[in-house]
Amino acid sequence: MLARREFLRTSLLATGAAVCSKPRTLVAASASDSRIEILLDEPLGVISPNIYGHFTEHLGSVIYDGIWVGENPSVPNVNGIRKRLVDELRKIKAPVVRYPGGCFADSYDWRDGVGPADKRPRRTNFWGGTEPNHFGTNEFIQFCSLAGAQPYLAANLRSLPAEEFYRWVEYCNSPAGSTTLADLRAASGSAESFHVRFWGVGNESWGCGGNFTPQEYAVEYRRFVTWLPHYGNGQDLFLVASGPYSEDSSWTRGFFEELLRKGSDQLNSVDGLSVHHYAWNLSRGRTTDWDKGKGSALEFEPVDWYELLREGQRIEEIIGNHWRALGEYDTQHRIKLIVDEWGPWYRPGSEATPGNQLEQIPTLRDAIFSAMTMDIFNRHPEKVAMANCAQLINCLNSLYLAHEDKFCVTPVGLVFGIYAAHQGGQSIRTVISAPPIRYDRDGKTAAFWGLQGSASLRGKDLVLTVVNPHVSEPRETAIDLKGTRVASASATTLSSTDIHAHNTFREPAALVPQSKPLTLSSPAFTYVFPPASVTCLSLSLA
Ligand code: AHR
């Protein structure tokens, strides 16, 4: 068998079928211990483009210096908004951006961020320091429109009355000239309605958003959403209830139980349930302390690599558990899950710009983590309607790092670029089997899956994304399209021999994806996924 595999490899190479910069990934028929079966006749649902969404908060340098560069002439900008950022967001088809928080949202008065810039008040920011309010609703909407993304606003439920939620909706959505707030919007240069559809009703209401019990929050929720202005523009508001942190399904159950005490029609007041999950505890069971449990973003061993991925993988079970809990009340499953904060969270110390709060430099490990997470969302299209990576720039799992005129795309940003191909595709059931990875966890053997991924189909274009998380071993895999032939194919891979690889302002292209065409002579073929890699196979079906 080995000899036959070698023969096929050699003959494919001889035809020039696989053009690769590194002599590793080739196509041939073989019997491997890893398999991917793509069941083209088993569609799972359309992958909402919004699962590739983003999150921006008035926190550290996300807004100021990240998005908003104001009058700084040394940074190319469009009306104060960093031009390179919106150019990059267009490239990855950014679908939606959440704003203004996070915890900041529940201490924010939206009125502070509208009207003439020189009249806006300075406030104490939730995260410390002074909030100048140079960037507010109009600037955010302009940012979204430049980026080609929809806005998703999080309302303040902890420290403003329900009336202010109502007024913010009115400010954003009332037709030109119809209300005093529409006039105020126009005075800031935006006569036309912003048509904001997505609204979060508070954020982490179990914690920084008010320390509510789920029952208390349900009472507030009912009051906040009982009557909101609608303007008949064909776009109903999509209301997202603040959900649990990670696996706490007692929150989900408590919230719906209390909400429905006023009758089953209350269910119609919720469109999405927010779920947050951060992978932060790399202590291998030593502590659950939020500060002590975190690891380093840049200095890590293979065991930390696998531990982070294990922590991230939990999101799949979390999605399943909340979906089941939701189904006890919403038996038709009209309400969807909105994973509006996700990503790894490391201890301070790897800021690209010293002093930037919560900023960390993403490495190849975070690219693998992000690809794995997006594959999970792809595999559950009926459950997850939106997800927002925390956070877009100069923060946790950022796609971009920027400081003044310096800018770089992180490995996470590169993965978003690769995975954009899945947006709006039909998710296809894909059965992946591979021997698990075994690694040493403090003298005991621990296991992590050997290969995972997802597939989607749009017309005749099949996209298969696959993560090989093994830090050092390639994974030869038999891929079976069940008889469907491929007319043309290409592979894009993000990988490095250095698991710590990352981009910086000085070396912005230390890690970049490599693409190559492939020739596949049969619907069943073998592909070798390099170690520590994210691969996208784009297959045009015959
Ligand atoms: O993303 C940083 C913070 O993490 C957000 O403000 C909050 O919602 C979460 O706890």
Q: How confident is the model at residue 539 (pLDDT cuts 50, 70, 90)?
A: very high
What pLDDT, on the 0 to 100 scale, is given for residue 23? 32
Residue 17 confidence (pLDDT) above 70: no
Distance 61 CA to ligand 1 centre (A): 14
Distance 411 CA to ligand 1 centre (A): 22
User: By alpha-carbon position, which residue is closest to atom 2 of ligand 1?
Assistant: 102
Paired tokens of 375: 């594959």
Which atom of ligand 1 is least distant from the CA of 391?
1
High-pLDDT (> 70) share of the chain, %: 94
Distance 260 CA to ligand 1 centre (A): 28
User: Do 55 and 340 touch, CB atoms closer than 8 A?
Assistant: yes
Summarised one tens digit per residue, pLDDT across range 105-114 is 999 999 999 9
Paired tokens of 235: 């776009």
Q: How many residues does the chain have?
A: 542
Beta strands 486-495 and 514-518: pairing type? antiparallel
Summarised one tens digit per residue, pLDDT across range 457-470 is 999 999 999 999 99
Under DSSP, the state recorded for 421 is: G
User: Best substitution site from 63, 158, 276 to test ligand 1's pocket, by max atoms within 8 Å of Cβ?
Assistant: 276
> Can you tell me whether residue 481 is helix, strand or coil?
coil
Which residue's entry shows tokens 């799972």? 44
Q: How confident is the model at residue 235 (pLDDT cuts 50, 70, 90)?
A: low
Residue 374 confidence (pLDDT) above 50: yes
Which atom of ligand 1 is least distant from the CA of 358?
2
> How remote is the C-alpha of 112 from its chain's centroid?
29
Which atom of ligand 1 is least distant from the CA of 57?
6
- Non-local CB neighbours of 476 within 8 Å, separated by 6+ positions: 30, 32, 33, 34, 526, 527, 528, 529
- Non-local CB neighbours of 425 within 8 Å, separated by 6+ positions: 46, 47, 456, 457, 458, 461, 463
Summarised one tens digit per residue, pLDDT across range 278-292 is 999 999 999 999 999
Mind telling me the catalytic residues? Answer: 204, 341
User: By alpha-carbon position, which residue is closest to atom 3 of ligand 1?
Assistant: 102
Cα R_g (the chain), whole angstroms? 24
CA dist 410 and 420 (Å) reads 16
Residue 8 confidence (pLDDT) above 60: no
Summarised one tens digit per residue, pLDDT across range 318-339 is 999 999 999 999 999 999 999 9
Which atom of ligand 1 is least distant from the CA of 55?
1
User: By alpha-carbon position, which residue is closest to atom 9 of ligand 1?
Assistant: 102
- Non-local CB neighbours of 450 within 8 Å, separated by 6+ positions: 34, 434, 435, 436, 437, 468, 469, 470, 475
Summarised one tens digit per residue, pLDDT across range 30-68 is 458 999 999 999 999 999 999 999 999 999 999 999 999
Summarised one tens digit per residue, pLDDT across range 505-515 is 999 999 999 99
Per DSSP (E only), the strands in 76-188 are: 77-78, 81-82, 96-99, 123-124, 130-131, 150-155
Paired tokens of 225: 């959403």
Residue 4 confidence (pLDDT) above 70: no
Summarised one tens digit per residue, pLDDT across range 128-159 is 999 999 999 999 999 999 999 999 999 999 99
User: Best substitution site from 157, 341, 358 to test ligand 1's pocket, by max atoms within 8 Å of Cβ?
Assistant: 341
Summarised one tens digit per residue, pLDDT across range 394-411 is 999 999 999 999 999 999
CA dist 367 and 411 (Å) reads 5
Residue 210 confidence (pLDDT) above 50: yes
User: By alpha-carbon position, which residue is closest to atom 8 of ligand 1?
Assistant: 102
Summarised one tens digit per residue, pLDDT across range 408-460 is 999 999 999 999 999 999 999 999 999 999 999 999 999 999 999 999 999 99
What pLDDT, on the 0 to 100 scale, is given for residue 3? 31
**342 phi and psi angles, rounded to 5 deg:** -155, 155
Q: Which of the residue ranges 24-33, 214-223, 437-446, 512-521 would you say has the lowest mean pLDDT?
A: 24-33
Distance 267 CA to ligand 1 centre (A): 27
Residue 233 confidence (pLDDT) above 90: no
CA dist 284 and 277 (Å) reads 18
What pLDDT, on the 0 to 100 scale, is given for residue 467? 98
CA dist 300 and 318 (Å) reads 26
Distance 156 CA to ligand 1 centre (A): 14
- CA angle 211/216/218 to nearest 5° reads 115
Residue 247 confidence (pLDDT) above 90: no
User: Best substitution site from 59, 103, 107, 211 to test ligand 1's pocket, by max atoms within 8 Å of Cβ?
Assistant: 103
Distance 102 CA to ligand 1 centre (A): 5
What residues are in contact with ligand 1 under a 6 Å CB criterion?
57, 101-103, 203-204, 341, 390-391, 396
User: By alpha-carbon position, which residue is closest to atom 6 of ligand 1?
Assistant: 102
The closest of 396, 458, 355 to 46, measured between CA atoms, is: 458
User: Do 63 and 21 touch, CB atoms closer than 8 A?
Assistant: no
Distance 204 CA to ligand 1 centre (A): 8
Q: How confident is the model at residue 5 (pLDDT cuts 50, 70, 90)?
A: very low
> How remote is the C-alpha of 273 from its chain's centroid?
16
For the packed helices 162-173 and 180-187, what is the interaxial angle rounded to 10 degrees? Answer: 60
Paired tokens of 264: 């089953």
Q: Span 372-395, mean pLDDT? A: 98
Which atom of ligand 1 is least distant from the CA of 105?
6
Distance 193 CA to ligand 1 centre (A): 29
Residue 239 confidence (pLDDT) above 80: yes
- CA angle 430/432/435 to nearest 5° reads 175
What pLDDT, on the 0 to 100 scale, is given for residue 248? 87
Q: How does the average pLDDT of the chain come out, rounded?
A: 93
Paired tokens of 21: 């910069």
Distance 103 CA to ligand 1 centre (A): 6
Which atom of ligand 1 is least distant from the CA of 207?
10
Q: How confident is the model at residue 234 (pLDDT cuts 50, 70, 90)?
A: low
CA dist 229 and 305 (Å) reads 48
> Can you tell me whether residue 224 is helix, strand or coil?
helix
Q: Which of the residue ranges 25-39, 128-142, 186-200, 472-486 would you say has the lowest mean pLDDT?
A: 25-39
Which atom of ligand 1 is least distant from the CA of 390?
1
pTM given for the model = 0.94
Residue 19 confidence (pLDDT) above 80: no
Residue 13 confidence (pLDDT) above 60: no
Residue 214 confidence (pLDDT) above 50: yes
What pLDDT, on the 0 to 100 scale, is given for residue 509? 98
User: Do 315 and 342 touch, CB atoms closer than 8 A?
Assistant: yes
Q: Span 248-271, mean pLDDT? A: 96
